[in-house]
Amino acid sequence: MAAATRTNAILAIVLAALVTSGSWVAYTRLSDRAEIICGEGQELVDGECVVADDSGNPLNGESGTHSQSDCTVSEVWRDEECQPMQAPSNLSYGDNELTFMPGQTLHGGISPSFSGDAPDQWMATPSLPEGMTLDNASGEIFGRPVDEMTPQNHTIIASNHAGSTTVNLTISSQPLPPIFQLEDPSIMLILGVEVDLEPPGFQSGSADTWSAEPPLPVGLTLGADGGIDGTPVTMGVTTHTIRGANWAGAWTQNLTITIVEQSPSGAFYQGNPFVFRLGNDVDLQPMIASGGNPTSWAIFPAVPEGLVFNTSTGQISGIPTVLYEETIHIVWANNSGGSNLSALTLTVIDNRPKVLDYAGNYLDLILFFELVNLTPTHSGGQPTSWEILPTLPNGLIFNSTTGAITGAATELWDWTNHTVWANNTGGVGVTTIHVRVVDMTPTNISWSDTMFTLEANVSVRLNAT
């Protein structure tokens, strides 16, 4: 019996120590009867524990009722009495994601919902982004992020004296989706020549990442700002989809890249201008000072008859068959990178006249009697004009077009050397002719008789007929 009494006494002491809030009622069994033990500030009235005043008298009469002001910090006034405070739970801000679009602002804030009794303290960890505030009394969230930001998690903690609850709130502020315009959607680059192209211009937003599909030609790089640089190493035409994106969206535009050879530069024909002789072989090869190799050639106007212009190599070859006045020709050296123009001057002249001959070049003429019709012969080119110095005797005519000498001399002329020139585009042929004009030799001379007797020392006159 003594052992049981000691055990009950120990239990009573432990329970009394646990009942400290004033709201607990502990029951224990001491010996063979139950005893109700009230907490501090309470009195046992009709088998119930009620709040007592400083003198130990029940408040508000025998009923044990009290006012809201009598509730402790761990109690709330509910159903006309102080009841234990309930910890908040099921905290929520709707779908718990706040995504701000460009220009969007919260109007009136976002209010939380929860179960249990109202929290009296609110906090966010980490702190809300700059531009946003958390009302520490109500838990409402106001404002919007100042800067663009990718989704970031914030833990909102709501607490009262009974406990706390949390919710993860995801906040993001989207940038404007990019909209850009390439400076030129179709560009021409030169093989082996370094390029550094400007980035696209943005109409709105910006891009954090860039890509090209298919990849740019070998040697070219799409930079972090959307610009293209590098040195192309292969020719061809390709089309690429350029994509600029940020986490709010993406924009694409097609880009056509044409890579061509360097255009020929400084195409020329060594020795220009050229003068060819009729009937002589011609073989001209063009030269390129710099740039790419031509793949085709053209010329205007056409080369003289007998010559051929090779449109693949630019070579001019053949044998000219007609005279050709000095003419300027335009020559184009072409490849995929462009054209080079050069001027080429061509002339075809005759061969100079040679070996002029006037039937031995001696003209021994009889005054008035001998009619001349003499045309010279020659080799070489055909003369286009003739000249003679000094002039021929009167009655003889020199044809300056054909070189012929015609007519009959009407004056006596001692032996005279005359220089004759035969001219054409190829030069001059020269010869000398010798001309004399004499009177006719008398013939059939007769006298009145064939025998005459003459006196000595006496003058005689015999008339001839």
Q: What is the mean pLDDT of residues 138-144?
A: 92
**Residue 397 pLDDT level (bands cut at 50, 70, 90):** very high
pLDDT at 421: 97
* Local confidence band at 56 (pLDDT 50, 70, 90 cut-offs): low
Q: Taking 70 as the threshold, does the pLDDT of residue 460 lie above it?
A: yes
Would the pLDDT of 40 be above 80?
A: no
| pLDDT the model gives residue 59 | 52
Q: Please tell me the least confidently modeled range out of 56-65, 192-201, 236-245.
A: 56-65
Distances from the Cα of 300 to the Cαs of 72, 264, 267, 331, 345, in angstroms? 111, 18, 15, 7, 11
Domains of the chain, by residue range, sit at: 2-78, 89-173, 181-260, 265-349, 353-438
Q: Is the pLDDT of residue 378 over 50?
A: yes
pTM of structure: 0.53
Looking at residue 318, its pLDDT comes to 97
Confidence of residue 24 (pLDDT cuts 50, 70, 90): very low
Question: Which pLDDT score, from 0 to 100, does residue 36 have?
Answer: 58
Average pLDDT in the chain: 85
Which pLDDT does position 315 carry in this prediction? 97
- Whether omega for the bond prior to residue 304 falls within 30 degrees of 0, making it cis, is no
pLDDT band at 19, cuts 50/70/90?
Answer: very low
- pLDDT over 90 for what percent of the chain? 64
Mean pLDDT of 396-416: 96
What pLDDT is recorded for position 130? 92
Whether the pLDDT of residue 18 is over 90: the answer is: no
Q: One fold for both 265-349 and 353-438?
A: yes
Of 419, 275, 414, which is closest to residue 350 (Cα–Cα)? 275
Q: Which residue has the higher pLDDT, 11 or 420?
A: 420
More confident residue, 322 or 56: 322
Residue 431 CB coordination number (10 Å)? 19
pLDDT of residue 45: 59
Q: What is the pLDDT of residue 122?
A: 96
Structure confidence by residue, pLDDT tens digits, 276-304 = 999 999 999 999 888 889 999 999 999 99
- pLDDT band with cut points at 50, 70 and 90 for residue 455: confident
Q: Which of these ranges, 19-23, 83-87, 103-107, 411-415, has the smallest mean pLDDT?
A: 19-23
In this model, does residue 37 exceed pLDDT 70? no
Encoded amino acid at 110, one letter:
I
Long-range contacts of 127-134 (CB under 8 A, 24+ apart): 127/154, 128/154, 128/171, 129/171, 129/173, 132/171
Q: Indicate the helix (H) or strand (E) that contains 36.
A: strand 33-37
* Residue 308, pLDDT score: 98
> What pLDDT sits at residue 276?
96
Distance from C-alpha of 93 to C-alpha of 336, rounded to nearest angstrom: 65
pLDDT at 165 over 90: yes
Q: How many Å separate Cα 375 from the centre of its chain?
A: 74
Q: Is the dihedral of CA 213, 217, 222, 226 positive or negative?
A: negative
Cα–Cα separations (whole angstroms), residue 339 to 139, 234, 308: 75, 20, 21
89-173 architecture in CATH? Sandwich (2.60)
Comparing 86-100, 101-115, 360-374, which segment has the lowest mean pLDDT? Answer: 101-115
For the cut 90, the answer to whether the pLDDT of residue 79 exceeds it is no
CA–CA distance, 76 with 108 (Å, rounded to integer) = 29
229-269 confidence digits (pLDDT tens):
999 999 999 999 999 999 889 999 999 999 999 989 888 99
The band of 6, judged by pLDDT with boundaries at 50, 70 and 90, is very low
Residue 49 pLDDT > 70:
no
Q: Which class would CATH give 181-260?
A: mainly beta
At residue 150 the predicted structure's pLDDT band, cuts being 50, 70 and 90, is confident
* pLDDT (0 to 100) of residue 184: 94
Q: What is the pLDDT of residue 147?
A: 85
How large is the C-alpha radius of gyration of the chain?
A: 65
Q: Is the pLDDT of residue 31 over 70?
A: no
Give 447's pLDDT tier (boundaries 50, 70, 90): confident
Q: What angle do CA 101, 103, 109 make, to 5 degrees?
A: 80
User: Mean of the pLDDT values across residues 119-148?
Assistant: 92
DSSP, collapsed to helix, strand or coil, labels residue 11 as helix
Q: Would you identify the CATH topology of the domain 265-349?
A: Immunoglobulin-like (2.60.40)
- What is the edge-to-edge ordering of all strands in the sheet holding 195-197? 195-197, 228-230, 220-222
Per-residue confidence (pLDDT) for residue 290, from 0 to 100: 87
DSSP structural state of residue 411: S
Structure tokens at 354: 């040679």
Which residues, other chains included, contact 170 with Cβ-Cβ below 8 Å and sequence gap of 6+? Answer: 96, 97, 98, 151, 152, 153, 154
pLDDT at 456: 84
- Could you tell me the CATH superfamily of domain 353-438? Immunoglobulins (2.60.40.10)
pLDDT at 71: 87
Tell me what pLDDT residue 15 has.
Answer: 32
Phi, psi of 95 (to 5 degrees): -90, 5
